[in-house]
Structure 1
């Protein structure tokens, strides 16, 4: 926490001055845990940080006895590297380049502590635009978003965890982050997935039954059979197409984010179907089922991922049932009939 103490540790006599943040008209000194003094401006810090504004408005911060009588001193627990990076989001200096997640988390925690919204907003936007951070650290970012109440980041990571349920792993969390993820969070994600799967299957069936999208199956080898009079006739169903639909239905049970347009699904079907013509119909320039697959993909994307109202209703039913059971509880004793 920021401190306005007047002990020796808050006196900048023994401090070095930041090589960048040493404005000649500064009227506020921020002294870090490693004794680096940042000479900045009360007005700017009050504008960007509610915490600094409140401290400065209460006029409880001691004045410097070293630099100038009009300069107040704030002793903070952050080190100079963290404070330097923080101030670069407030003043027009080059900002850090983030190659790992940890520096971002440190700055988000500082922004939360001092209520610096420009840092919170900027770093949330950065994380939402960086696919590597989102995909590789989604479990941890979900916990961080909940702990620091970063609603945009929470929604984004929640969607990733819904699409890929197997990546929610507590081993990625720090101790602070483990305390944030609750049983209710896990149950909510499981409920959302369970609700969405039948909706996806219903959307798939609706697409397959739309009259203007019904396909005449291709005249491929897997449909040919000999008629009783020795001629060739075709079965109603393309075996490879049926196999693709069944594979997709099974995949979304484990990986709800599976897209029916994913070429790997068709590649898998090709590996275990005997139709010699299937490659042409599944991977041609304008393959036979392209339009229908695109339509199914778009329709499935329209199915919601979250079911907040339904989940709250489910919890209400559970609470009501729990209350009913408790109300019917009877205490019995030895000798009771």
Structure 2
């Protein structure tokens, strides 16, 4: 099991890998792409990270009626499908209940030394729990501010799908809020890591669900799932873009729910992904197996209460 220097070494490789989710049988082999916005680590200090600025985007706000009052509002309007003046001032600690110190908008990142930020595996497990907590909370109590909370937990395809679903809920003034409480998996299994991504699997408790995107139009559901399900996550290493302080985290970039998989079958699902990882590695893809390392919310809380930098999921509001 890679750990310590071996895990950090695997994560420091400079090739960005994008995993196409399949059924875990190996048909969806990841495609290697060129690195984007590479970061350089200061050779004199492992705690100073210099990040290249992202390309300047000239896209108009996603909301045609948006009228951002500040540069931050304009930035958020480019990422969030519904913009309100309140987003200029969000968000105080209580707004999300989790990771409020992270920038609301982040982009994928590669080539960064994660050692100053803690255990990469623990960061990824926390990223999965944070995603499930904030997404279920946003759909149970949809508000414009909840978009920022979702953006704290997700990036790329996952963020777009959830925000589109949330935008439909917000646009429907007759829609009632969901009756589910915010929930998160109590344990996350880390399957494999690449230089900038982590593959994880978890048993997700019944909560507000996001159906699969159909014809690019996700249909939100306020109904609670009838049972727990097995879900796979691709997490991307990301950096915030809203201020000059570099914050690095793992945010969910893609999810795949295994239909018909009850949580009793999670080991079989993990084994299927491990076979895929072995095929990817044999083909020269930079993925390192993590041998089913499992991290619980209780372990994260022990780290946090002992002075670590990780959040404690058990402290998140119900």
Q: TM-score, normalised by structure 2?
A: 0.19
Higher share in helix: 1
| TM-score using structure 1 length | 0.18
Give the number of the structure whose residues are more often strand, by fraction: 2
